[in-house]
Amino acid sequence: MTETTDIKAEHFVDYYDLDTVPSKISKRELQIFDMLGQGRMIGQIGKHLHISIRTVESHRDHIKRKLDIPDILNFSQLAYRFRIEK
C-alpha cells in the first residue's frame, strides 16, 4: 500500500504533495489535469486538443492511477487545488 492510500479518502487532498505531480505524469496528462482543474468538461478538452473524448478519459484514468487518487471526487478536488496553487 502506498503512502497516499494510507490516508483516509476524505483527507486525501489536504495531504497530497502537489510538487510531485509534474514528475509522475506525462506533459499531455499534466495539460489535461490542468484543464480539468479549470472546470472544463471532457468534451471541451477533447475539442480544444483535437482528440477524442475516449482519449481524454484514458488520460484521466492514467492520471488517477499514476497519482494513486482513490476516487473521482478526490481527483476533481486535487486537480482544482493543483490549478490554483501551481
Predicted TM-score (pTM) of this structure = 0.83
Residue 75 in domain: yes
> Can you give the CATH number for the domain in which 59 is found?
1.10.10.10
Residue 47 in domain: yes
Residue 2 in domain: no
Which has the higher per-residue pLDDT, 1 or 54? 54
Residue 81 in domain: yes
* CB proximity list for 47: less than 8 A, separation 6 or greater: none
pLDDT at res. 12: 76
23, 71 contact by CB (below 8 A): no
> Domain tally for the chain?
1
Confidence of residue 1 (pLDDT cuts 50, 70, 90): very low
Q: What is the average per-residue pLDDT within 5-10?
A: 53
Residue 48's domain spans which residues?
Answer: 24-85
pLDDT tens-digit map of 20-73 = 999 999 999 999 999 999 999 999 999 999 999 999 999 999 999 999 998 999
